[in-house]
Amino acid sequence: MDPIRRRALGAGLTLALAGGALHAQTTPIRFVVPFPPGGAADQVARLVAQEVAAALGNPVVVENRAGAGGMIAAELVARAAPDGRTFFVGSNGPLVFNSALYAKMPYDPEKAFAPVAGLSRSPLLLVTRRDLGAANVADLIAAGRRDAPRLTMASAGVGNITHLAGEYASALMGFKVTHVPFPGSAPAIANLAGGHVDIMFDALPSSVQQAREGLIRPLAILDDQRFPPLPAVPTLRELGYANIEIGAWKVLVAPAQTPRQAVLDMNRTVNEVLRRPEVVQRLQAIGEQPMPGSPEDLGRFVAAERERWIPLVRSLGIKAD
């Protein structure tokens, strides 16, 4: 090959490689959410996705894949190409609880994912329908012990944090419930506001607005401090029920074998987003607290959650299959 043709071929190859890199930078990133639109995880995912997209100059698409206790979405991400373009908005259920709830799972929560970044955590809020007749937790406990049939308890799905926290907290408070699962927090709260179910232990983002508007009645926060937008609502600890601090958390994980640099790049971007005052304010307004940290911090956090919750879930005797 003569020198002129060699130079021309080299120039063409350089342009092709540059074009490929440019295309890769504009390929949408996916945040796969295991719940329907409108719930807490969806709200957080969309807020963070919007800010990450702006920071990277790259579109970030939020994809809702609800069902099977979050396992449909989790399996989709676990089987996705580990190319740094697909991430799972993981939560208590698909990353922790399901190990105790299902005899078989289509993915291994401990091996299928690489920790990327914490997103946020919110305490749960105990709420009732407006006309239940329980003005406070003492009234609710009395009704739960007295009334037959049992109080109906909505949740965002079997094995969801809103289900297991409700079973655990109601047992500690001494009354029984009949569980009524829904495909996500948004439809559960809609049915509670409509008077079709009695109570729910819900994550704050999907219930705080309805509580403010009087569509549902908030009775207590499952945390160690009150929630500023609902200052009159006491914590369960204040009411004499300790050790019922329970949070619904949202984190970002990637398929195992995702390149370390891709993990670190997304971690850095998410942490920068979560430290912006306007983002912190928007999260706190819906009852979420940012969870910045390293991938290693997230790995340790999820491991500690497994150690706490898997024996507890098994002790409740709840199975999802």
Same domain, 135 and 272: no
- 177, pLDDT greater than 70: yes
Query: Which residues make beta-bridge pairs with 86?
Result: 30
DSSP code for 234? P
Domain count, the chain: 2
Whole-model pTM above 0.85?
A: no
Q: Is residue 272 part of a domain?
A: yes
- 36, pLDDT greater than 60: yes
Q: Where are the alpha helices (DSSP H) in the chain?
A: 3-26, 40-56, 71-78, 92, 98-101, 137-146, 161-173, 185-193, 208-212, 260-274, 277-285, 295-316
Q: Is residue 264 part of a domain?
A: yes
- 18, pLDDT greater than 70: no
Q: Is residue 104 part of a domain?
A: yes
CATH number at residue 145: 3.40.190.10
CATH number at residue 58: 3.40.190.150
Average the pLDDT over 88-97 and give the result.
Answer: 95
User: CB neighbours of 206 closer than 8 A, spacing ≥ 6?
Assistant: 38, 39, 40, 43, 185, 186, 189
Instruction: State the CB neighbour count (10 A cutoff) for residue 294.
Output: 16
Average the pLDDT over 245-265 and give the result.
Answer: 96
Q: Is residue 48 part of a domain?
A: yes
Same domain, 158 and 89: no
Show the domain range for 131.
123-222
Task: Specify the range with the lowest mean pLDDT, choosing from 33-42, 84-93, 298-307.
Answer: 33-42
Give the whole-angstrom CA distance, residue 197 versus residue 131.
11
Average the pLDDT over 236-254 and give the result.
Answer: 91
Give the whole-angstrom CA distance, residue 6 versus residue 25.
29
pLDDT band at 25, cuts 50/70/90? low
